[in-house]
Each structure stands twice: as C-alpha cells, then as structure tokens.
Amino acid sequence: MFGVVRILHSTMYSSLRMLMSLLPGRWSTPAMTASLTGVKSRPLFDPPKDMHFRMSELVKELQEDIFAMLKKYEPDHWQEIRDEREGLYKCSRFMQDGDVFEKAAVNVTNTKRPISAGMFQKRALDGVRFSSNNPSDYMLLTASISLIFHPHNPFAPTVHANYRYFETVNTKTAAVEDWYFGGGSDLTPSYVIDEDGTYFHTVLKNALDPIDSTLYSDWKRRADEYFRIPHRGVAGSGECRGIGGVFYNQYDDRDPETMYRVQTALGKALNDAYFPILAKRKDTPYTSEHKQWQGLRHGRYVEFNVMYDEGTKYGLIHAPQTAESILVSLPLTARYEAHHKPVPGSHEEKSFDVFCRPKESWIN
C-alpha cells in the first residue's frame, strides 16, 4: 500500500504511548537497575549560583535572534503561546503551511519548581547521589530552547537543535546536588548534498574549536550514534535519520563556565550554519517524485522521534499535558511505502547510502 500520512498530534498521542511501552527504550541501560542510593560520584565542579539565571536569559536571547532570521524567510503565519507565572516561563512560536516552511517552531521553557517524583527517581536511577531520599526536599531548575524547521522544498534540509541546562537544588541546604548541560544541532536532508554537509559541520566545528578542539570530533561521533534508527538500514544494520552534527547529553564533567560558553557559541552559530543552506536550496526546482522521497525521509524522522528520542519519550510519559509542544518536532506530512528501494545510481540511493554509512568526516 502507498500512502501519505498527515501527522495529527492530538489523535496520535494515546497510540504513541502504547507503542513506546512496547519498545526497548534508550534508557534501558545498566544504570536503570541501580538502587536509589546512586552509583555516580558528584560532579567535579559546582556551578555558579547564577548559572540558571544566565542560561534562562541566554535561551530567551537565542530565541529572539533565531526568530528574527526566520521571519526574513517566513514573515507571516506565526502563532505564539506564552505562559508566564511563578516558577515558569514558556514561549512557543510556531507555524505550519507557510511559503517556505511546511512547519517550523522555536520554543523556550524555563522552570523553577519542586522536582517531580518521576524525575527524582530517574536521576537517582541514573546514579546521582542525593543527600536525601525525599523528593520534596528538592527544587528542579531548567532552562532550554528547542527548534525544528521543516522546509517545503525536498532539497532544503530539515534542521533541529536544542540547548538546555538542568539543576537540582536541596532547599534545606541550598546546595546544588545535580546539574548538567545538554544539547546539539543536527541536519536532516532528504537529498544529501556534500557541500551543504561540509558547510554545516564546518560552522559547528569552528564554533567549538576556540573552546576545546577535541569537542567537535567527539560530539560528531555521538550524534552519528544517537540519531540512528536501529530497526532500519540494510539487513537491519541501522540507518541515521540525517547527516548528524553534534550531540551531548547530561554533560557535567567540565567546568560549568566552559559549558556555558559552548551553549552560547553553538546557539549563536545556528543562524550561520543553517540559513545560507536554506537560501541556496529553497527555490530549487523539484518534481512530485522528489516530494515522494521527502515524504519517505519524513517517515524516518517520525520513527526516530516517537520510538527512540529520549526527550520525546520522557516528555510524553512524565508531562503528557505538553504533548502538543513535544510533538511539534514532527513533520506535517510523512509517507510510508512497503519495501521501497531507491533506483540504483539515483540521488536517492546515494543519499540512502550516506544515511546507512555515516561519513567519518564531513570536513576536508
């Protein structure tokens, strides 16, 4: 059967939860069987007292900078949902069915509230040594920005990025007992164009090298490993959803000031890394066959996000009231064809080969 599937978030939610409950999650690691007393030593560094405030301000600034660039390409169609109250700042800007973008969103969420029992247990199972076993003794402080842009044109790639900071504070001692940074940027083309991949990866490397020249190669490898669909590929060997970028998660083994510089550098590099590619590809002529291939690649995007992405899974399980914000990352349309194989020697086949066998290096 051939088909085009329009992704309707609200109607998919219950089925997604059932699907996720049947799948071996990426959280199924030895750490998940650890006792609540923890096995992970405290971080080597303590974050500055104002780190949460600084990260909260940074993600707001990044949202404004990125949104200003978005509006140059897509001036209309935007919606905004804002929620500001004690312990919460949330600003979601999104659109769909625009002139350039099928869907685009750039969201900021900053929180300061009691940690949930579920999050407390997860961090304890991850190995964090809390001084108290009572979740009510702790506040969770978060600051994050996430974005996703799905262009209409099959030759213009999708881009995804997020930058976040988590901090758990003991309200009785005011001590920060758990903190980490996470994030990354990755490019997902339907049609792999080498010069675009080289350009995107070079901008990310140039942003990181002045801070630490070892970060790009390490986090590029992590991105290739993380953004992989294990059940796809040739003979079940796995298939990447795109051509990667950089990825890092629960990062607490470096000086927090260094990681703040990383978040700033990568966040400010996003406009330079993506929009020149978009400008070059958004008006490329294409056919219905090109759109069909894009639909198939969108299908892979959906598979990864609802089956393997840690943020999506955790959000749907522990914060189902935010399902619409979580699933905004999905493309507006996706296509599924039984036993589809690209035509030998075609651009589609060459792209598929890169998805199945990621390049060791994009940079000459």
Question: What does the block give as tokens for 317?
Answer: 């399980």
- Rounded-to-integer distance, Cα 334 and Cα 299, Å: 5
- Catalytic residue at 160? yes
Contacts of 168 (CB under 8 A, 6+ apart): 115, 120, 123, 128, 130, 138, 139, 140, 141, 176, 177, 178, 179
Question: What does the block give as tokens for 27?
Answer: 């959280």
Selected catalytic residue, list 52, 160, 201, 298: 160
Element (H, E) at 312: helix 310-318
Contact assessment for residue 329 and residue 160, using Cβ atoms and an 8 Å cutoff = yes
- Rounded-to-integer distance, Cα 348 and Cα 309, Å: 25
- Rounded-to-integer distance, Cα 308 and Cα 60, Å: 28
Contact assessment for residue 108 and residue 91, using Cβ atoms and an 8 Å cutoff = yes
Q: Which residues are known to be catalytic?
A: 160
